[in-house]
Amino acid sequence: MLTLEIGGRRWEPDIRRLSDMRDLLCDTEWASSAEDVDLYYMYRDLYLSRADRSRLIEHDLRYDITIIPPRMLGREYVKTAGHYHPKVPGTDVTYPEVYEVLEGEALYLLQNEDASSVVCIAASEGDKVIIPPGYGHVTVNRSNKRLKMANFVCRSFSSIYGPYRDLRGGAYYCTRDGFVKNPRYRDPAPLRRLDAPDDGVLKRFGLSRSREMYSALKDPDRLEFLTKPHDHLSLFEGILG
């Protein structure tokens, strides 16, 4: 177990193990007999100071860190379980999320629920990736280095894992032979590849590649797009092409 030290405190992770992921993998034969191991570590609701903790609660935000060591899951690269977000109460708009790569490299595989839009965004240290309303996501560590990433998200909901689990993962698997369609999806859209957002796009959200996103807590109103996305829909226009 990896203990994380932040703000003079020691944080213990929630651990996602292979036994939690067997039903989500491409290589089912390998998954059925592989020894159970830790796959990745999730550190929830972090803060540097009590003042930051108060700001997070007041503005209905949560700051997390996830660490994904490099590993192969049979012929598939290690990944997160994948999830969607619920709708904001009283609206038809689902909650968004924003990620930042702190170390290593990540592939963010985004898809809407019927997989009529599927996007792969490659990100490296300093990049931020916006998960817009209407999209679920899986994160893949395809490198030989550990991936450490942070996220900001609204603290008032629980993620929805069922649709990914029902279809044994996302619409595409990332394998050593490239991306492979998940045959349980009837007709997924072709996978589109995008670069991580540049500073021109990030500026809309009060973010920058050159500043760690945690600094946004100095002015948490800038993060209202995470808790009230229905009031900020114009920010998300065109960010997935």
For 145-194, the pLDDT digits (tens) are 999 999 999 999 999 999 999 999 999 999 999 999 999 999 999 999 99
**Residues listed for the chain:** 241
Amino acid 134 reads G
Distances (CA, A) of 167 to 10, 26, 64, 171: 37, 11, 27, 8
What pLDDT sits at residue 240? 95
- Which tokens hold the place of 153? 């998200």
pLDDT digits (tens, 9 = 90+) for 41-95: 999 999 999 999 999 999 999 999 999 999 999 999 999 999 999 999 999 999 9
What pLDDT band is residue 31 in, cutting at 50, 70 and 90?
very high
Q: In whole angstroms, what is the distance from residue 241 CA to residue 134 CA? A: 15
Count of alpha carbons within 13 Å of 170, Cβ hemisphere only?
33
Which tens digit of pLDDT belongs to each residue from 178-235?
Answer: 999 999 999 999 999 999 999 999 999 999 999 999 999 999 999 999 999 999 999 9
Which 8-state DSSP code applies to residue 12? P
pLDDT given at position 231: 98
Burial classification of residue 41, based on how many CB atoms lie within 10 Å of its CB (0-12 exposed, 13-18 middle, 19 or more buried): buried
As given in the structure block, the two tokens for residue 59 are 């503005």
Kindly state which CATH superfamily the domain 4-234 is placed in: Jelly Rolls (2.60.120.10)
Domain coordinates in residue numbering, the chain: 4-234
pLDDT of residue 2: 85
Q: Which two tokens stand for residue 19?
A: 């036994």
Coil, strand or helix at 85 = coil
Is the distance from CB of 194 to CB of 238 less than 8 angstroms? no
Q: Which of 85, 68, 84 is nearest to 13 (CA)?
A: 68
Q: What is the DSSP letter of 82?
A: -
Q: CA-to-CA distance for 89 and 110, rounded, in angstroms?
A: 23
Compute how many other C-beta atoms are within 10 angstroms of the C-beta atom of residue 162: 9
Q: For residue 150, what are the β-bridge partners?
A: 65, 100
